[in-house]
A = this chain, B = another copy of it.
Amino acid sequence: MAVKTLSVNKDILSANDKLADGLRARFDESKVFVMNLMSSPGAGKTSVILRIIESLADKVKIGVIEGDIASDVDALKIGKTDVDVVQINTQGACHLDANMILAAADDLGLDGKGLLIIENVGNLVCPAEFRLGEDVKVMILSIPEGHDKPLKYPLMFTESNALILNKIDLLPYTDFDVDELRKTVLGMNPGIRIFPVSAKTGEGIDDLTAWLAGRVQGK
């Protein structure tokens, strides 16, 4: 469908948690399962979302909120599918907050939707601090970023319910140690689910979407 662009002029930090609680109640009432997807720039958020749409769009009605500092590059990619998408431009702010989602959810419409995917601003730091009323926080770490990232950006790894390890097609060309990564992350966050995938080749996507579909149906 057509892409809408929403501009948020100010990064309103105060009372984020209260707004997030209200959002969560509204999402629960509408029975929409909400995933807040976070990662560094270029880790593959949009590519993973496109794979999820490809896999689940015939089973559940999906909506996407795209968060970017500027541009609508990602929303245009999502807009090529049949899925409803709203673009938020944060105009400099390095993360989404509950107030932005409140406005975007109105614009998107929740009626009949079973899954709402929020693509946060590409940043491994600040987005982890701002609840958006989501059911699950999911993060992506891509192979070229290196397996030492949990030690350096701990909050993102401890806050997330699932970790998507993307670009595993690049494993042969890097020094990334998947076992070491698993050990570190599970030591920090024993309940986290880890999904090694390649959004490029499709490897591992089935496990990820099966888990997500289960969570959506459980709501």
Chain A interface residues (CB < 8 Å from chain B): 40-43, 68-71, 73-74, 92, 94, 121-126, 129, 142-146, 148-149, 151-155, 167, 169-170, 173-174
Contact = CB atoms under 8 A, between A and B. Distances in A.
21 contacts: A41-B124, A42-B145, A43-B145, A69-B152, A69-B154, A69-B155, A70-B151, A71-B151, A73-B151, A73-B152, A74-B152, A92-B129, A92-B155, A122-B152, A122-B153, A123-B123, A123-B124, A125-B126, A126-B126, A144-B167, A169-B173
A41 B149 contact: yes
Nearest to A150: B71
Contacts of A143: 144
A123 B94 CA distance: 9
A151 B69 CA distance: 9
Given A40-B40, A170-B174, 18 more contacts: A40-B122, A40-B145, A42-B144, A43-B145, A69-B125, A69-B153, A71-B151, A73-B148, A73-B151, A73-B152, A92-B155, A94-B123, A94-B126, A123-B123, A123-B125, A126-B126, A144-B144, A170-B173
Query: What 7 pairs across the A-B complex have the smallest Cβ distances?
Result: A42-B145, A94-B125, A144-B144, A71-B151, A40-B40, A42-B146, A41-B124
A151 B70 CA distance: 7
A180 to B, nearest CB: 13
Contacts of A71: 151-152
